[in-house]
Amino acid sequence: MTFWITVFLWTYSRLESAEWIVSHQPEGRELHSAFPVKPEVIWAELDSVATELQETLQVKGTGQPIRVLLFVDEQSYVEQLSEEFPQCRHRKAIFARKGEVSVICAYQSRTLSTDLRHEFTHAILHQHLAFLPLWLDEGLAEMLEEKSSSRVSSSRAAATRWKARLGWRVNFKSLESLPAAEAMNDGDYRDSWAAVYFLMSESAEARGLLAEYISSIHGGKDPGRFSEFSDVRSMELSKRSTAYFRRIPVRAVGASR
Ligand SMILES: [Zn+2]
């Protein structure tokens, strides 16, 4: 979930007033937590996300500040954030950016690692790119929130395979019509995940096309809609997505957000 709202002043006032018991500030980063955590463990987890983005898509953070704020529970998180971010009542974590500073807020829960991986993906993407399509932004965050070893056993992989067997395919044009993250339902998130997972996993050719699209944006160009970008190359990606998901090995239906 991404919010483009001014948080710069908010974060500084809250930084001083909140009761953080852990504060860790390595170069270019800050982590403040209201409950016991091991910052090195959290940064290592998030570094693995950054590494995957760089190795697979040549997406790199800029080194600009990333600030992680961890609240003790949902009540505290909502109390501190809801005035500025009413949507936080429905989200377990949020990402916002103002100028150079990226801020990630979350609270203690069993899905904290997943939530942080998701929002950190947004932070790196928005450092690397001036803009990107919503489906790509959320699709990458949804994919990278899971460790690579557990992706194929997620419930959405199983659900997408089942739908593909009934004829479903990735519909880039439909995904491109999504108006805003706030309007996305679970199906939209799953379909965004499926589009990205397919492009990243089906073939070097498909992943290369996505990397090329992202590189174009990074280079200051507007490559237009991905559906038109890919159509130019006549790759029949939507059609190929059905065949791909029909045959993916789903090891088990596990928990997935
Ligand atoms: Zn998101």
Residue 257 lies in a domain: no
Tens-digit pLDDT profile for residues 130-186: 999 999 999 999 999 999 988 888 889 999 999 999 999 999 999 999 988 888 999
Measure 162 CA to ligand 1 centroid, in angstroms: 24
pLDDT at residue 8 is higher than 60: no
Measure 117 CA to ligand 1 centroid, in angstroms: 10
Residue 31 lies in a domain: yes
Q: Do 15 and 37 have their domain in common?
A: yes
Q: What is the DSSP string of the chain?
A: -EE----HHHHHHHHHHS--SEEE--TTEEEEESS---HHHHHHHHHHHHHHHHHHH-----S--EEEEEESSHHHHHHHHTTT-GGGGG-SEEEEEETTEEEEEEESSTTHHHHHHHHHHHHHHHHH-S---HHHHHHHHHHHTS-HHHHTTBHHHHHHHHHHHTT----HHHHHT---GGG--HHHHHHHHHHHHHHHHS-HHHHHHHHHHHHHHHTT-----HHHHHHHTT--HHHHHHHHHHH------B---
Phi, psi of 105, rounded to the nearest 5 degrees: -120, 140
Q: Do 142 and 236 have their domain in common?
A: yes
Q: pTM for this structure?
A: 0.91
Range of the domain at 187: 135-247
Q: Do 198 and 142 have their domain in common?
A: yes
End residue of a domain, out of 74, 105, 128: 128
End residue of a domain, out of 102, 128, 154: 128
The CA distance from 74 to 15, in Å, is 18
Quick one: which of 145, 125, 13 has its CA closest to 69?
13
Measure 30 CA to ligand 1 centroid, in angstroms: 21
pLDDT band at 251 (very low <50, low <70, confident <90, very high): low
Reading the block at residue 178, the tokens are 């999504």
> Rounded to 10 degrees, what is the CA torsion of 136, 1, 24, 51?
-20
Measure 121 CA to ligand 1 centroid, in angstroms: 8
Measure 179 CA to ligand 1 centroid, in angstroms: 14
Measure 125 CA to ligand 1 centroid, in angstroms: 11
Q: Is 187 buried (19+), middle (13-18) or exposed (0-12) by CB count in 10 A?
A: exposed
Measure 93 CA to ligand 1 centroid, in angstroms: 9
Measure 234 CA to ligand 1 centroid, in angstroms: 30
Measure 105 CA to ligand 1 centroid, in angstroms: 12
Measure 257 CA to ligand 1 centroid, in angstroms: 12
121-130: average pLDDT = 97
Measure 138 CA to ligand 1 centroid, in angstroms: 5
Would you state the pLDDT for residue 212? 95
Report the CATH number at residue 45.
3.40.30.160
Quick one: which of 100, 98, 67 has its CA closest to 84?
98
Q: Do 191 and 221 have their domain in common?
A: yes
Would you state the pLDDT for residue 144? 98
Residue 102 β-bridge partners: 66, 97
Check if the beta carbon of residue 246 is closer than 8 Å to that of residue 164. yes
Tens-digit pLDDT profile for residues 203-218: 999 999 999 999 999 9
Tally the domains of the chain: 2
Check if the beta carbon of residue 19 is closer than 8 Å to that of residue 32. no
